[in-house]
Structures are given as C-alpha cells and as structure tokens.
Amino acid sequence: MTTTEKREFPMARTCPFAPPPAYEEIREEEPVSRVRLPDRRWAWVVSRHEDVRTMLKDRRFSADRQHPDFPQLVKGGAASRRPDDERTLIEMDAPEHGPARKAVLGEFTVRRREALRPRIQEIVDGQIDALLAGPNPGDLVEALSLPVPSLVICKMLGVPYADHEFFQEHTVKMFKQSTPPEERGAAMGAIQGYLADLITEPARTTGHAGPGPCLSRSW
C-alpha cells in the first residue's frame, strides 16, 4: 500500500492553532493527493494555492453538496442532504450561483461594512465587558469567538436580540463536526423555518418588524 492510500481525511492536528503537519508533507511530496474519507470512500485533496485557483475556475468541478459523489467529511454526512431547493449559496453551481450571489452582494461592500462598524464595535465591547466581569480565567471561545460573529450575522439578517441564543445554538450544531447528521439536519431545518417566519410572518418572531435587508434580498 502506498503512502497516498494510507492517508485518512480529515487529518489529525498536533496543535489546535495550526494545520495538521501532514498538510506540509502533502504540499511538498504530492500536491494532489488521494485520501480516504470517514465513510471509507476515496477523494482528492488539492493543497497548493495555484492548483486550488485553477480548480475553482474549472466548471467541471461542482460545489453541489447534494450530489451523491460529493465528499462527506463526517461519517454519515450523506444522511443530512437536503432537497435541491434548500441549497445555500456556497452549494450552488453556475448558472444558479450568479443571480443568488448578486442578490446579496450589496450587503458585503466596503460602504456597508463601514456602516456596520459601530454596531460591531458595540457588540465586541459588550462581550469583553462581560468577559472581564465573569469568572477568572475566562473562556475566549465562549465569550468572543462564538457570540460575536453570531450577533453580527443576526444583525445583518434582522434577527432580534431576544432570539440570538436560539440562532447561535442551532448554528453551532450545523457547523460542529461532531454533531450527528440527524441533529445537523434538524438544526438547519429549525434555522430555515425561523427565517421563513421572519420574512413571511414577522409577528410570530419575538417582537420584530421584519427581516434585515440582507435576508430580504436573498429570499
């Protein structure tokens, strides 16, 4: 059996703050490497920047996670596949991707970013104050890394603050690799159902007038 055939993916980290050491080995020895996934199927890892750029521009490759051959990075990941009409922006190929991207592009301009800066600063300051007032030592992940992006996304989507814990809890389940596929699918369904209510029946959400512009444009 060759070195390539022995590689398992995802690869183990020796340091939580750095990529797995095997990544450097792959880049140096075999930039396009065959690896074994948790479901025991084979896939390819592309490890060099220029190769990745070339691949991303080649329409023979697909971002559609609903495709039966799309690599699953967690065991049983295929069980969480959703219908085609529930795909997210990062799961779309051309020509569907272009119009969907254009619909939300206005919310990610430099001007829009600067308009959000005061609110983001307010969120960060509030979380730091809570961290300093809490137990010592504090947990930076729980105090900053998790809530800050979640609260900013809630602001962009128009999710009221009273609902941010619900939004954060289910978002974590969606993206945490250790979440069982069934729970991940249920969490995604809960988020999508909530956002649908926010758009179509805002009175059903917690005292809010309606969705933010980012959500309105993308729905």
Of the candidates 121, 109, 125, 131, the one whose C-alpha atom is nearest the C-alpha of residue 217 is 109
Provide the Cα torsion 116, 120, 123, 128; round to 10°. -170
The domains located in the chain, with CATH, are 1-48 (no CATH), 104-218 (1.10.630.10)
Task: Tell me the whole-structure pTM to 2 decimals.
Answer: 0.69
- For 118-131, the pLDDT digits (tens) are 999 999 999 999 99
pLDDT at 206 over 90: no
Mean pLDDT of 56-77: 85
Q: Do the beta carbons of residue 34 and residue 5 sit within 8 Å?
A: yes
Q: Is 138:131 a contact under the CB 8 Å cutoff?
A: yes
Cβ-in-10-Å burial (0-12, 13-18, 19+) of 141 comes to exposed
| pLDDT digit string, tens, across residues 93-103 | 989 999 989 98
* Residue closest to 160 by CA, chosen among 118, 106, 197: 197
